[in-house]
Amino acid sequence: MAAADELAFHEFEEASNLLAETPDAVTTSGSGQLTPQGHVAVAVDSGGSYGAEEEVEESDKTALLQEKQQPGFWTFGYYQSFFDVDTCQVLDRIRGSLLPRPGHNFVRHRLRNRPDLYGPFWICATLAFVLAVTGNLTLVLAQRRDPSIHYSPQFHKVTVAGITIYCYVWLVPLALWGFLQWRKRVRERVGPYTFLETVCVYGYSLFVFIPTVVLWLIPVPWLQWLFGALALALSAASLVFTLWPVVREDTRLVAAVLLSTVVLLHALLATGCKPLPLEPLAPPPQATSLPLNLLPPPTPRSQVT
């Protein structure tokens, strides 16, 4: 079975390469679970490219054997459809978000219009815990250098970090999706992404911050800025390359404003995660190094670095 699975995966790759070369092609794909081997058919659609998104979804659904119509949102099966991913698919999506390429649209290329909620949810959870743990570690390391700093586990940081990150990954895509829906009438060719696809893109784009936050433990300031800039560049590039096909149909002004807002919000989140240099004053504990800063608006302290 492993060989058959590998065959299916290779066929996927070939199809994705074909799709990247001929953006007008429409693929139908079968899920590896339902068919013994992956079933991939490539048909060239002469009519138009992304406007045929609804047809892609329809043919996707009909191509999947035994897939009936979507269950209602009050059933458990509805939510199960968002966790319908395998380990290799999740790893593939993470790789896709780490290495954004200008031609490759994350939603079309990696998600293939089948967003999942597993990735965003657990990436956010991991990021929140890693932030809290590294914040704690920064304090410990600082205290060893300068014993006047008061150490405490600062456990509530987990709650703050978690709420901030989850709000970011849910509310910003909601606003973005709403805005794109509102502008839908301006674009003819390119259909907007669904809400879950947007959430998926944002969630996976946050993955690069996890190793960055760990690397921020190295107490060399210019190295920290370098890592931060690198992570922000990768993450924002992933977002921008995904949004570009949808937004380029719009007027220049709207496109520019939208993309710069997206990048700015992302930069704010990155700044919020970056540890601040520690001040060696002892009392009171709140005034000393809070490695986690809250998200917008950035306090004056964060400007002093």
Partner 1 sequence: MAKAAESSGEPGTTSPRPLMRDLKAVGKKFMHVLYPRKSNTLLRDWDLWGPLILCVTLALMLQRSSVDSEKDGGPQFAEVFVIVWFGAVTITLNSKLLGGNISFFQSLCVLGYCILPLTVAMLVCRLVLLAEQGPINFMVRLFVVIVMFTWSIVASTAFLADSQPPNRKALAIYPVFLFYFVISWMILTFTPQ
Q: Which residues bind partner 1 (CB under 8 A)?
A: 5, 32-33, 76, 79-80, 82-88, 90, 118, 121-122, 125-126, 129, 133, 136, 151-156, 158, 284-286
Minimum CB separation from partner 1 for residue 279, in Å?
18
Identify which of residues 157 and 183 has a Cβ nearer to partner 1 in the complex.
157
**Which are the contacts of 280, defined by CB distance < 8 A and separation ≥ 6?**
146, 148, 149
Nearer to partner 1, 137 or 263 (CB): 137
Give the pair of three-digit tokens for residue 40: 């991939």
Closest to partner 1 by CB, 154 or 235: 154
Say if CB 293 and CB 302 are below 8 A apart.
yes
Query: CA-CA distance, 109 to 69, in Å (whole number)?
Result: 24
**CB nearer to partner 1: pick between 83 and 244:** 83
Nearer to partner 1, 34 or 226 (CB): 34
CA distance 92 to 98: 10
- Residue 272 Cβ, how far from partner 1 at the closest point, in Å? 19
* Listed residue (103, 249, 244, 240) closest to 190, CA to CA: 249
- Which residue, 32 or 100, is less far from partner 1 as judged by CB? 32
| Cβ distance to partner 1 smaller for residue 50 or 207 | 207
Min dist CB 33 to partner 1, Å, is 8
Q: Least distance in Å: CB of 152 to partner 1? A: 4
Identify whether the C-beta of residue 82 lies closer than 8 Å to the C-beta of residue 196.
yes
Question: What's the first-to-final CA gap in the chain, in angstroms?
Answer: 55
Q: Which is nearer to partner 1, 19 or 128 (CB)?
A: 128
- Rounded to a whole number of angstroms, the minimum distance from the CB of residue 199 to partner 1 is 16
Residue 25 sits at φ, ψ, to 5 deg, of: -75, 150
- Least distance in Å: CB of 239 to partner 1? 24
Give residue for tokens 């608006």: 297
- As measured in angstroms, the least distance from the Cβ of 83 to partner 1 is 4
Q: How far is the CB of 110 from partner 1 (least distance, A)?
A: 17
